[in-house]
Structure formats: structure tokens, C-alpha cells
Structure 1
Amino acid sequence: MHHNSESEVSANAPAKILRVPNKPKTPNRVIRVDDDLWRDYGEACEAEGTSKSDDLRAHMARKVRAYKRRQQRTVGDTDE
């Protein structure tokens, strides 16, 4: 196996690796999205002053709240 010396830099690696802050250290998730949709979504989020990640989290939170409200109504209907 060939090892690079300290003076060599890989063509695919940045000269300096920066640590990206991730508070509160949430895990990364992988989703499949068409390139055109992802680009346009990024433009729409930027125009609204938000990041794609923040917008997706907000959407997921709204969806979960709506789901839980529906579940509460269903449980409340069966209790009567």
C-alpha cells in the first residue's frame, strides 16, 4: 500500500479539514432527491432566508404535530 508523505496532498481532499459545528450533534440523514428539485429547493429556501435543513426540520415537525392531533382525535372518539 502506498502512503502519501506529509508534503503530498490528495487531489480530492482539502488542504485543511474544518470541523463543521453540529449542535446538538444530531445524526446526518440521507435522502434521495432529483438534482433539479434539490437545486430549486435550495434557491427557494435561500430566498426565504432559511437553510434546506432548517426548512425540512420545520416541515417534519408540522407533519408530526398534525399526525399526533389526528391520533388524539381518534383516541378521543373511541373513549366515548
Structure 2
Amino acid sequence: MRTDIDNWESITVTEINKLFSIIPIKWGIAGGWALDLHLGKQSRAHDDVDVIILREEQLTAYNHLSGGWMLYKAENGI
């Protein structure tokens, strides 16, 4: 996994839904987008979308994403 966190592009909530819907794990949207989805409207611009998964399903998600995606590891709050 890479740690050069500045080298990525965000995808939309719709794209995340399409991507994660085919992975056999429990997942959800977290952070600012989760609040906006709950409100039913976008309250502000977002630079990213936070996805939350269960730790025990992390390897399954990794295996599904690592084939066609460049995965990055967040470290030290970044």
C-alpha cells in the first residue's frame, strides 16, 4: 500500500455505492457525506468520501479493490 496521500482522486458517493455493492462486506458512508445523506441534501463541498468497514472484513475489501485500484494507507491522521 502506498503512503503518498497527495496522489489520489476522490470518487462520488454513487461510484462508491456501485463499487462496494459487489464486495461481500458490510460497509457504509461516514463523515460529512453521511450527515448530508441523512439530511437528504448536500450542505457543503466535500473533498472526499469516507467509507467505513468492519476490521474483520478489511482483507476481503482489500482483495476486491487491490486488483484494479491503487490503494493508499492513511497514517498519523493523514
The higher relative CO (CA closer than 8 Å, separation ≥ 6) is in 2
TM-score norm. by structure 2 comes to 0.23
- Compare CA radii of gyration and give the structure with the larger one: 1
Q: From the two aligned structures, give the one with the greater helix fraction.
A: 1
TM-score norm. by structure 1 comes to 0.23
Q: From the two aligned structures, give the one with the greater strand fraction.
A: 2
